[in-house]
């Protein structure tokens, strides 16, 4: 299976490709490789033909699992089995573009949390970086640890801020050492005839397994963590002193939980929000000299 080509050579003015328009548009900051992968993913046959069926089946399965978990909450609980299934499924059935977007998300999320933690003076946070390099790394409770890291980060950060009487504000010099300009071309994802699932279809398909094999607390917490996009974006805005990127956040209002049935769609928005915020930081790093003064990029 080959990736579908999207460029001006395929442009037809009587039938313009909406994904080509978004690929060429630079109004939203996003990594170049990520953008190519996302646009190819959006235009895939999986989105057109498989996604509607998978979304319907996923919601039905989640409904019955919800009832099952209500009566037998502790009968099936194993994050180890869950991540074995996720690793196997990602390797066997998910497209290279969707796998790239999934794997990149952990790297991007790690660097954003490191940026916040290292740019607040007098705060000491234990870092738990998640930067998977192959499918074996998925088996180490990768997805569960991602959610745990986020909540523990917010709890530990705010505990120290309150205990020390501190507030988040722009530092004297912004530390961007942890931000990498990574095009993520160092992993060869499987590209066999079975690797056809697009990003959202894969997430929709895996969500019932997530619900079945995790405790109710773990599953609900994972769903609610998506709304912390707004919280993380606010922390970053307080450090940078520039709130412009807050307009790119769609998962908001973490104090008002949203139904877990929308988790798959909100997870895609969560990934996009992380990518755009990370690209803002990448552009800042590329446009700064060693003294932290904004300069024009070298041509």
| Alpha carbons within 13 A on the beta-carbon side of 291 | 3
Q: What is the mean pLDDT of the chain?
A: 91
Is the pLDDT reported for residue 3 higher than 80? no
Report, as an integer, the average pLDDT of 158-182: 94
pLDDT tens digit sequence for 245-287: 788 899 999 999 999 999 999 999 999 999 999 999 999 998 8
Angle at 11 between CA 5 and CA 12, to 5 degrees: 135
pLDDT range class, residue 68, cuts 50, 70, 90: very high
172's CB contacts (< 8 A; 6+ apart) are none
Note the pLDDT of residue 242.
Answer: 84
Q: Pick from 92, 87, 132: which is nearest to 1 by CA? A: 92
pLDDT tens digit sequence for 203-256: 999 999 999 999 999 999 999 999 999 999 999 999 998 887 788 899 999 999
Is the pLDDT reported for residue 185 higher than 60? yes
Note the pLDDT of residue 10.
Answer: 76
Alpha carbon separation from 257 to 162, 251, 254 (Å, rounded): 25, 11, 6
pLDDT range class, residue 183, cuts 50, 70, 90: confident
pLDDT tens digit sequence for 110-141: 999 999 999 999 999 999 999 999 999 999 99
Report, as an integer, the average pLDDT of 78-101: 97
Beta carbons of 40 and 189 less than 8 angstroms apart: no
Note the pLDDT of residue 260.
Answer: 92
Report, as an integer, the average pLDDT of 86-109: 97
Beta carbons of 182 and 189 less than 8 angstroms apart: no
CA 240/CA 219 separation, integer angstroms: 33
Note the pLDDT of residue 247.
Answer: 81
CA 13/CA 19 separation, integer angstroms: 14
Q: What are phi and psi of 222, to 5 degrees?
A: -65, -40
Domain definitions of the chain by residue range: 8-286
Q: Each residue of 162-178: b (16+ CB within 10 Å) or e?
A: eeeeeebeeeeebebeb
Note the pLDDT of residue 293.
Answer: 41
CA 150/CA 251 separation, integer angstroms: 15
Report, as an integer, the average pLDDT of 39-49: 95
CA 35/CA 18 separation, integer angstroms: 14
């Amino acid at each position: 299976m080959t990736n579908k080509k999207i460029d001006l050579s395929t442009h037809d003015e009587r039938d313009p490709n909406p994904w080509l328009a978004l690929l060429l548009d630079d109004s939203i900051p996003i990594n170049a490789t990520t953008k190519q992968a996302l646009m190819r993913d959006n235009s895939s046959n999986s989105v057109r033909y498989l996604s509607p069926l998978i979304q319907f089946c996923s919601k039905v399965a989640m409904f019955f699992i919800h009832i099952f978990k209500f009566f037998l909450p502790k009968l099936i609980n194993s994050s180890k089995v869950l991540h074995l299934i996720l690793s196997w499924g990602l390797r066997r059935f998910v497209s290279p573009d969707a796998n790239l977007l999934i794997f990149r998300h952990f790297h991007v999320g790690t660097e954003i949390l490191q940026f916040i933690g290292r740019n607040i003076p007098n705060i000491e946070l234990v870092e738990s970086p998640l930067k998977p390099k192959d499918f074996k790394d998925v088996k180490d409770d990768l997805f569960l640890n991602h959610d745990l890291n986020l909540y523990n980060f917010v709890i530990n950060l705010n505990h120290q801020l309150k205990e020390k009487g501190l507030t988040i504000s722009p530092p004297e010099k912004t530390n961007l050492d942890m931000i990498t300009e990574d095009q993520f071309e160092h992993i060869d994802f499987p590209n066999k005839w079975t690797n056809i699932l697009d990003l959202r279809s894969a997430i929709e398909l895996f969500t019932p397994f997530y619900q079945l094999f995790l405790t109710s607390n773990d599953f609900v917490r994972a769903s609610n963590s998506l709304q912390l996009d707004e919280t993380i974006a606010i922390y970053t805005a307080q450090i940078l002193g520039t709130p412009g990127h807050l307009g790119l956040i769609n998962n908001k209002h973490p104090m008002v939980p949203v139904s877990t049935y929308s988790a798959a769609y909100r997870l895609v928005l969560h990934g996009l929000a992380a990518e755009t915020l990370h690209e803002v930081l990448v552009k800042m790093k590329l446009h700064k000299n060693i003294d932290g003064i904004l300069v024009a990029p070298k041509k």
